Amino acid sequence: MTRKIPCTIMRGGTSKAVFLREADLPHGAQEREETILAIFGSPDRRQIDGLGGADPLTSKLAIIGPPPAGSDAHLSYTFGQVEIDRPEIDWLSLCGNISSAVGLYAVQEGLVASTQPITRIEAFNTNLGRKLAIEVPTENGEAVEAGDYTVPGVPGSGARIFVDFRDTAGGATGHLLPTGNPIDRIDVPGLGELEVSLVDIGNAHVFVRAADLGMTGTETAAEIDADKPLLALLETIRGIAAEKMGMIPDAARSRETSPATPIIGMVSAPADAPNGLVGGTIPGDAVDVVSRLLFMQQTHKTYAGTSTVCTGIAARIPGTLVHEIARPETRDALEVRIGHPAGVIVTESEVSLDGNTYVVHRATLGRTARRIMDGTVFVRAPARVA
C-alpha cells in the first residue's frame, strides 16, 4: 500500500530538510516514525529509495504544527535528525540552520501575518520546549529570498534571516552551564584527565582544546574523519560529557541514546587555516576563535547554527575554554567571528551576570533560506521498526 503525503523541501543555511505538516502524519509515535523513515529512505547508506541526501546535513526533518494551547507562539516546530544507515530518528536536538527555513516557510504559508520590512515569527520548538524568534525580510506581503548575504558553504547569496536563540539557554539540561562550572575535568580512558567546558544554548555542547587531543585545530573535515582513533576518542569524550550533564544514563551508550547531542567542539586560537570546501586559506586575522565540530559521529563540513550561538555565548563567559582561547581584544564586542572548515561564521552574543547566574540577552544566527520544491511524497508501507 502506498500513501501520499504533501511535503516541501527547504534549504536553511548549510542544511536541507523535508518539511511536513503535523496533521498529515500518523498520530501514533511508532507509525509516525516508520512513515518518516520511509520518506527518507532510511536505513540505507545512500537513502536511495527516499528523499534523504545520504549526509547528516541533508537528512533533516521539520514538522510544522499549531502552537501549544495558551502559547503566544505562531506555530510549533519539531526537528528530527534522521539516521541514514540506522532505523532511528534523534528528537533530542535542534538545527539552527533549518530554524531559519522555518521562518521563511511560516511567512510563505501564511502562518503569520506579514509586516514590512521584517516579519517576526515566534516558533515554539518542541524538542527543547523553548521559543525561537525568527526575523524574515518581507516586501509587499511576501518573504524576500533574494539578497546579498552570503553563507560559507552555500552557493550564491540571499536575504539574511536572523534567528535569536536566547530563550533556548538551558533547554536540554536546565542550565546554561549544566554543572554550574565554566570548566570541568573528566577522566577519559586512554587519555587521562581532560578539561572541558559544558555549555547549553541552542543545543548542549562540550568544548575541548584541540591541542589537548594532539590537534592543531586547523585540520580539514576530511583529515579529521580519516583519523579513526581520534573519532573514537571524540565520541568517548562526548558520551562522558553527556552523562555528566545528565542527558544520558550511560556514557558507553551515547551513540545509541543521543547520537546528535551534545555536540563536541574542538577549539583553538586564531590561525590561518585551509578552506576544505573551496580551497585557499581562511586568514587567522578574520576570526576570533577557530573550531571544528563532531556532529553525528562525523566532522561538520562547515559549522552548525546552534553551535555558532553556543560558541559565541561560551566566548563571553569568563573561565570557559572558548573565552580563554578567543582573541582577547574582542571580548567586549557584540560579534564573535568563528573560523570553521569552510570559512567564517558570525554571531551576536550578549551575556550578563545576575548574581551567580548568567543571563543571555542576544544569541543570533544570520542565515539564508530557500524553498526548493513542493510536492507529494509517495510512501511505501515501511518495514516495522525494531
What would the pLDDT profile of 4-14 be if each residue is shown by its tens digit?
A: 999 999 999 99
Q: Judge whether 336 and 346 are in contact, CB under 8 Å.
A: yes
- Grid cell for residue 349: 552574543
- pLDDT in the model for residue 382: 55
What is the C-alpha to C-alpha distance for residues 233 and 284, in angstroms, rounded to an integer?
27
Q: Judge whether 16 and 60 are in contact, CB under 8 Å.
A: yes
- Domains of the chain: residue spans and CATH: 2-160+369-380 (3.10.310.10), 184-364 (3.10.310.10)
- pLDDT in the model for residue 252: 92
Please provide the size of the chain in residues.
386
Helix pair angle (96-108, 305-315), 10° resolution? 120
Q: Judge whether 19 and 9 are in contact, CB under 8 Å.
A: yes
* Averaged pLDDT, groups of 10, the chain, 386 residues long: 93 96 95 96 96 95 96 96 94 93 97 96 95 96 95 93 95 95 96 97 97 96 96 96 95 90 96 90 96 92 93 97 95 94 94 92 95 96 52
127 exposed, middle or buried (CB, 10 Å; 0-12, 13-18, 19+)?
buried
- pLDDT in the model for residue 134: 97
* Those residues with Cβ within 8 angstroms of residue 326's Cβ, 6 or more apart along the chain or in another chain: 288, 289, 315, 336
Neighbours of 128 (CB within 10 A): 25
- pLDDT in the model for residue 341: 94
Rg over alpha carbons for the chain, rounded to the nearest Å, is 20
Give the H or E element holding residue 192. Answer: strand 192-201
Phi, psi angles (nearest 5°) of residue 56: -55, -30
